[in-house]
Chains A and B, each alone.
Chain A
Amino acid sequence: MLRRLAVAAALLLGLAACSGGNAPQEETSGPVKLRFLSLAWQKESLAANKEIVTKWNAEHPDIQIEYVQGDWNSVHDQLLTSFEGGDAPDIFHYEAAALGEFSKQGYLADLSSLVSSELKGQIAPGVWDTTTFDGKVTGVPFLLESQVVIANKKLLDAAGIAVPPATGGWTWDEFQANAQKLTAGETFGVAWALKSPTNRVMNLSLNFGGKFFYEEGGKTVVKVTDAEKAVPQRIHDMLYVSKTASPAALGMSGADSLPGFFGGKYAMLPGSVSLRQQMVEQAPAGFEWVTIPPLKGASSQQAANPQTLSISEDSKAKKQAMQFIEYFLNPANMATLAKGDWLVPTGKKANDELVKLTGGKQGWDVAADSAADLTISAFQKVNGYPEWKSKHATPALQQYFADKITLEQLAKQLEDGFRG
């Protein structure tokens, strides 16, 4: 054991010295085989991914794609070790929020000159910004997740509440008033499933212009002004002042709150647009549900953290890899992938295609319309955000939502916790 470890340590040092860091890779011409790490996990999405790859391989004998299945929970470690070990997949699926760290280490290829103007024009500039670091485009964003409200249609009807059209959702005031109308007996108007509260609060705070992170004298600082306080305060009020939100749901994830929702304990579930899939697959027979568009504060803007496709800097066939990405994300394919994951495609044409494909049913009209509200937020570019989130923001928000600290104490903990 001792010897083995000594050998391992010695080899590590030797190899580290010999590895030559991130030297530019020579591009290959001629037939290539590329590895594509996909994180698709839903049944339909898996099938769509595999089908597109099979079609590509049949049509492009010189650029063969090996489909490798990964999983969301361990992909970060898997990629990190692959990058360090010089054995990273050529193309990989991940999310914008994770790319900054990899980009800083030089693991990701700059796609600026590789992306076609057609694909570039399909995706909104605010969404491209989420994958752009120091001027380098490190990934092609392709699937977005907006925050909507899923509601029990029968309970809405019984309370005399009309379902708003896909193009115009409720304001927060209207939402809170409707939650009040829906709260009766054993039923709460809302279940805020806030097991991981920070990203939800960051995303929704853009409704009131809350950015949390500001530049001051060349330094990044956290500031909690009225704009940042708005969303936490409104949620807190629903829990403890109007008592229209269930405190029991606070520690749940979106999926955990479904039994209560289907059982009539909660009338509305604010959550991801992808929750619709569980509605379709798991709702009991006869259960009617509707998708309410994103809530509006000063605007209905939300932070976008799109799923992305990136190319490793170590790949010897970046052009061919990009060719595959362009094919994989053409409007028809992007629409199919979004449908499989119940998410929103970033491409405008893909969005139109998806509404046509689904007839706008099962909340697809709302999902498609919400794409326009998604943009970058300041927190997505901040170094040290993950640490601040886990060590300070999440515990502080959990305490505030559990009514253990005041709004002012929450603000102080959030501000003091960040050491830019």
Chain B
Amino acid sequence: MMKRFLQYVALMGYLIFLGFPLVWMLSTSLKPPPELVKLHPTLVPDAPTLMNYVQAFSEQQLDRAAFNSLKVALGSAVLTVIVALPASYALARFKTRVGTAALGWVLLSQLFPFVLLIIPIFLVLREVGLANTHAGLVLIYVVWALPFALWMLQGFVRNIPRELEEAAAVDGATRLQVLWRVVFPLLAPGVVATALFAFISAWNEFFFALVLIKNPDLATLPVTLARFVGIEGTARLGPLAAGSLLATIPSLLFFAFMQRRLSSGSLAGAVKG
């Protein structure tokens, strides 16, 4: 009984640790300017107001920016999964020197800083007519997310016993049928994790979106939110908190929708003896 109680206390502590920044952001977004600089700030605003939300939306095109971010993040998540799924299967199942070298390169490519790549990327995109487009941004995000997605997914593939594929083949399934009916369904948690990773990376990304998108109507949410921060880090805390809070909602919803499919256990008892 005591053990369970302590577990709940620990869980509650962890939840508070994770949730407090969001609660504080909500509180800040509802405070009028004088309450933001009180010597002893309170969690519950004395005079709650929606003024910060009104300002955030009237001064910046937050709704359009959110739509742009959603479009880019969903596109990146879907494309990353489409590319990573067969590639990770090939890397996990077919042992070749090229595969090992490719995996090594995938890891190595993560060492390149953004700043080093941004100008070449910009020039390439401009040459192919994709600079200043969401398609160009999605392309970059997919390339950026792929190394980690490949590493993650090929781990999931390795966990699927080969015997299952062999059994399906013995029963007369073609390779495509094996992949479609046996492997991919068992990979669902991995696919969901990969999609979440790609979605959140693209949703939060700032620098590429800043540099590659020139048209104000195509700006994404992180770039738009940065406009509430001024010289030497001085921020307009109220509208920034209001905008940032709203910016977290789509990724929370996406996570809530996808996390049910993250559950493992589909393989339990699949191979006996």
Question: Does A5 sit within 8 A of B, measured CB to CB?
Answer: yes
Chain B contributes a number of interface residues (CB within 8 A of A) equal to: 49
- Which segment of B225-233, B241-249, B263-271 sits at the interface? B225-233
- A85–B146 CA distance with the chains assembled, in angstroms: 25
With both chains docked as a complex, state the minimum distance between the C-beta of B53 and any C-beta of chain A, in angstroms.
14
- A130–B117 CA distance with the chains assembled, in angstroms: 33
Contact between B38 and A46 (Cβ–Cβ < 8 Å)?
no
Q: Which of B115, B143, B210, B214 contacts A1 (CB 8 A)?
A: B143
Q: Which of B124, B131, B214, B226 contacts A71 (CB 8 A)?
A: B226
A23-74 residues with Cβ-Cβ distance < 8 A to B are 35, 41-43, 46, 66-74
Contact between A81 and B226 (Cβ–Cβ < 8 Å)?
no
Interface SS of B by simple majority: helix
- A77–B143 CA distance with the chains assembled, in angstroms: 22
Question: Which residues of the other chain, A, contact B34 by a CB distance below 8 angstroms?
Answer: 262, 282-285
Question: Which residues of the other chain, B, contact A69 by a CB distance below 8 angstroms?
Answer: 60, 216, 219, 227
Question: Which residues of the other chain, A, contact B206 by a CB distance below 8 angstroms?
Answer: 74
Contact between A281 and B123 (Cβ–Cβ < 8 Å)?
no
Question: Which residues of the other chain, A, contact B33 by a CB distance below 8 angstroms?
Answer: 281-282
- A residues engaging B (CB < 8 A)? 1-2, 4-5, 7-9, 11-12, 15, 35, 41-43, 46, 66-74, 77-78, 81-82, 84-87, 196, 253-255, 258-260, 262-263, 265, 278, 281-285
Question: Does B9 sit within 8 A of A, measured CB to CB?
Answer: no
- List the 3 shortest-distance A-B pairs measured between CB atoms, nearest first: A263-B39, A12-B120, A85-B122
Question: Which residues of the other chain, A, contact B59 by a CB distance below 8 angstroms?
Answer: 43, 46
Question: Which residues of the other chain, B, contact A265 by a CB distance below 8 angstroms?
Answer: 39
Question: Does B36 sit within 8 A of A, measured CB to CB?
Answer: yes
Interface contacts beyond A11-B127, A283-B34: sample of 18 additional A-B pairs, CB < 8 Å, sorted by A:
A11-B123, A35-B214, A41-B228, A69-B60, A71-B223, A71-B226, A71-B227, A72-B232, A73-B229, A74-B206, A74-B210, A81-B119, A85-B122, A86-B126, A87-B214, A258-B37, A262-B34, A263-B40
- A258–B109 CA distance with the chains assembled, in angstroms: 45
Q: B99-143 vs A: 1/0 string, CB under 8 Å?
A: 000100110010010010111111110110001000000000001
Question: Which residues of the other chain, A, contact B174 by a CB distance below 8 angstroms?
Answer: none
Q: Which of B40, B41, B126, B230 contacts A72 (CB 8 A)?
A: B230
- A7–B228 CA distance with the chains assembled, in angstroms: 38
Given A1-B109, A1-B146, A283-B34, A8:B236 Cβ within 8 A: no
- A73–B232 CA distance with the chains assembled, in angstroms: 7
Contact between A85 and B123 (Cβ–Cβ < 8 Å)?
yes
Contact between B126 and A5 (Cβ–Cβ < 8 Å)?
no
Contact between A2 and B105 (Cβ–Cβ < 8 Å)?
yes
- A185–B121 CA distance with the chains assembled, in angstroms: 60
Question: Which residues of the other chain, A, contact B39 by a CB distance below 8 angstroms?
Answer: 259-260, 262-263, 265
Given A1-B109, A68-B216, A72-B229, A85:B126 Cβ within 8 A: yes
Between B36, B210, B216, B231, the greatest number of chain A beta carbons within 10 A of the residue's beta carbon is seen for B231
- A5–B143 CA distance with the chains assembled, in angstroms: 10
With both chains docked as a complex, state the minimum distance between the C-beta of A334 and any C-beta of chain B, in angstroms.
19
With both chains docked as a complex, state the minimum distance between the C-beta of B144 and any C-beta of chain A, in angstroms.
10
Given A8-B124, A259-B37, A262-B37, A2:B102 Cβ within 8 A: yes
Question: Does B67 sit within 8 A of A, measured CB to CB?
Answer: no
Q: Which of A2, A9, A15, A78 contacts B211 (CB 8 A)?
A: A78
Question: Which residues of the other chain, B, contact A258 by a CB distance below 8 angstroms?
Answer: 37
With both chains docked as a complex, state the minimum distance between the C-beta of B123 and any C-beta of chain A, in angstroms.
5
Q: Which residue of B lies closest to A262 (CB)?
A: B37
Contact between B123 and A12 (Cβ–Cβ < 8 Å)?
yes
With both chains docked as a complex, state the minimum distance between the C-beta of B201 and any C-beta of chain A, in angstroms.
15
Q: Which of A7, A81, A87, A281 contacts B118 (CB 8 A)?
A: A81
Q: Which of A86, A253, A262 contacts B232 (CB 8 A)?
A: A253
- A121–B132 CA distance with the chains assembled, in angstroms: 40
Contact between B121 and A77 (Cβ–Cβ < 8 Å)?
no
Q: Which residue of B lies closest to A255 (CB)?
A: B234
Contact between A73 and B226 (Cβ–Cβ < 8 Å)?
yes
Contact between B214 and A8 (Cβ–Cβ < 8 Å)?
no
Q: Which of B60, B143, B232 contacts A196 (CB 8 A)?
A: B232
Question: Which residues of the other chain, A, contact B120 by a CB distance below 8 angstroms?
Answer: 8-9, 11-12
